[in-house]
Amino acid sequence: MAGHAVRRVLVTGAGSGIGRGVASFLASKGHHVYVTDLNIDPAMAVVDEIVAKGGSASAHQLDAGNVESIESVIRGLQEKPNVLVNNAGIQHVSTLEEFPMDKWQKLVDVMLVGVAALTKAVLPTMRDEGYGRVINIGSVHSLVGSPGKSAYVAAKHGLIGFSKVMALETGNSNITVNTLCPAYVRTPLVENQVADQAKLHGISEEEVIKNIMLRPMPKGRFIEVEELAGTCDFLMSDYARNITAQAIALDGGWTAQ
């Protein structure tokens, strides 16, 4: 059984944070990466970094919450991806009573509807080539809830159900669909959340990190982007061809309690 061939990997939200780390890591393993982001400039900066290190990548402007944008980008690629990392994410912390419904809708569009549209767009190529991997970047909030995050938690829970159905629909081929469920990863999105949570709970940012973010984790430390990237790399390999429909928790023991 071969471990790895060179793959074509599309990563959403790859201009910063988890997406940037995953794109850079997979490029360093010899894969070609389509670095997509809502803003083209950070995507191009990531591509420049990858190419400077001898990797292969291209930048593409993609709105993961817009089906027309998704279909247009995939149509425009001469070689379609055979690995899809659905990473793009946004957050808004507010009680439901105070939650603007247009923001609620936007979170679901980016983190659930867009995931479905992207998956639909790449599945024909995966079937034709006899290989495909869809890796959804969920969250520990795909498995548990937290106050103030109704839209995010709903979308991330939805990813697990979506992945199960896709795994069943692709069970007759060498395609797998899984959801990674990390606890807090130290990224710009989480840094912004620290401030939002401090405001919501009326406590300091240090207390948010210690008493809200890391307290549920017996390991007591943030997840590193490389941990997620390495898990993606493994799921892409032939060794993981029977791992599908799984919610894989990288949560420092959070959900054991």
CB atoms within 10 A of CB 40: 15
Query: Three-state SS for 131?
Result: coil
Yes or no: say if 193 and 232 are a contact pair by the CB < 8 Å rule.
no
CA distance 9 to 70: 15
Catalytic residue among 131, 152, 184, 239: 152
The verdict on whether 131 is a catalytic residue reads: no
Tokens 């997620």 — which residue?
A: 228
Yes or no: say if 38 and 12 are a contact pair by the CB < 8 Å rule.
no
From 154, 65, 75, select the one nearest 121 (Cα to Cα).
Answer: 75
State the DSSP H helix or E strand holding residue 249, giving kind and residue range, or none if neither. Answer: strand 247-250
Residues forming the active site: 152
